[in-house]
Structure 1
């Protein structure tokens, strides 16, 4: 993330980070998640020095710390790293999206790989920007996602369109979590997400109830989810239903 250096003060209380007039509003509360402490410190200093539109209220360097801290602080926006030693942004989202639906997640990463973008967006992030973004642009991105917009670095928007709009001729984007399921496990998951009982799934697929239970257990293990409700949401996010 590059710092903007401008001798003119455009971060007063009555202007946006781009210098335009704005109505008075409370700063957007932000939580930083990144496994590099130096980056977190630099990001916090830059964000708060150039604009009063955002206020950093917490930070974490691991998935476990992020889950605990975000749950405690309840920020408006989480700046979320995609790759961390004990998991990544998608794992943080998986643990928090159901319980904290009002918290908005914006991925901020060095990676611009299609699979990383799609994985974290499918998990529930509202946008994805790379760390080459300027401080002023990042402030605008934070404010926009807090206001309900989706924000992507220009090159990355095409990945999302290809994956979710299913445009003719577009290359399919792989989803590592989905790819680990067998075709039969996907069939069972699809029916489960539609509200079928185990007995109904067994009848529909011409297998035993015990086999259905085995497939569901396998899907729960592979996705690291804990119940039918979470599986249904997971399947819906991946457009299996």
Structure 2
């Protein structure tokens, strides 16, 4: 074999020589540790994790202090969620010297979550099922100013921004917190409590508490009624 380098290998090499500074924002410490182990500061990825945060206040503080290239941002966070981080960090995103760009990384694939953070200023949205190599690629693309979405999620954004009409207000849904909406969708899709707990990195007891709160707020009696309610609103 010759010593020539393929175009793909050259691209990887060029990315490896470049450093993209990243802040991880997620309220689950173990998940942050897993992401850092997968994409963290190694020549193979070119990604340097310069900070972490577990809630909105911490996120704004760390982002202000480190001024990273890209923030990996969870949608559901204590203190107001990813949208609140975007709102409070708006001045950094428009910085002249080096704008801070945001890539949502969430377990949620709900249309309103995707649209909410994109309207807030995020450059992309990928789910936590993404592979490490694809996430690294997404980070570099967002750092370069590209918009990055999983294919299904891109459809949500196109549909939302193609319409000039404001989405109808659902007063029942507005009663639920973001986490309760997330649990609601998974229940409606037939997930068991243990499966939901594993996906959301919470305890089974916490799942049960969220389900009880959803049933109470929506004035429903059981998960079967809840499933019918969610299906009627095309949330499944």
Bin for the TM-score computed over the shorter chain: 0.5 to 0.7
Equivalent residue in structure 2 for 1:78, among 71, 77, 81: 71
Contact (CA 8 Å) 1:114, 1:173: kept in 2 or not? Answer: no
Match of 1:39 in 2: 31
- The gaps in structure 2 that reach 5 residues or longer are 175-236
Where does residue 187 of structure 2 map in the other structure? none
Does the CA contact (< 8 Å) of 2:25 and 2:72 recur in 1? yes
Select 1:161's aligned residue among 158, 161, 164: 158
Match of 1:55 in 2: 48
The DSSP-based 3-state class of the residue aligned with 2:104 is strand
Rg larger in 1 or in 2? 1
Partners of 1:141 and 1:51 in 2: CA distance: 15
Shift of 1:87: 1.7
Question: 1:165: Cα distance to partner?
Answer: 2.0
Is 1:140 matched with 2:137?
A: yes
Relative to structure 1, the CA distance from residue 90 to residue 97 in structure 2 (aligned partners, 3 Å threshold; closer, same or farther) is same
User: What stretches of structure 1 of length at least 5 have no aligned partner?
Assistant: 1-13, 181-241
Describe the superposition over 1:158-215 as per-residue Cα deviations: whole angstroms up to 9, x where unpaired: 0000011229xxx965688xxx9xxxxxxxxxxxxxxxxxxxxxxxxxxxxxxxxxxx
**CA distance 1:175–1:105, change in 2 (3 Å):** farther
RMSD: 2.8
- Structure possessing the higher relative contact order (Cα contacts under 8 Å, 6 or more residues apart): 1
* 8 Å contact from structure 1 (residues 82, 107) kept in 2: yes
Match for 1:124 among 110, 121, 124? 121
Runs of 4+ in 1 over 6 A off after TM superposition: none
Q: Counterpart in 2 of 1:28?
A: 20
Q: How many angstroms does 1:93 deviate by?
A: 0.2
CA drift of 1:15 comes to 9.3
What is the count of residue pairs matched by the alignment?
Answer: 161
| Larger helix fraction of residues | 2
The residue that corresponds to 2:104 in the other structure is 107
Q: CA offsets per residue over residues 211-241 of structure 1, 9 Å max, x none?
A: xxxxxxxxxxxxxxxxxxxxxxxxxxxxxxx
Alignment correspondent of 2:186:
none
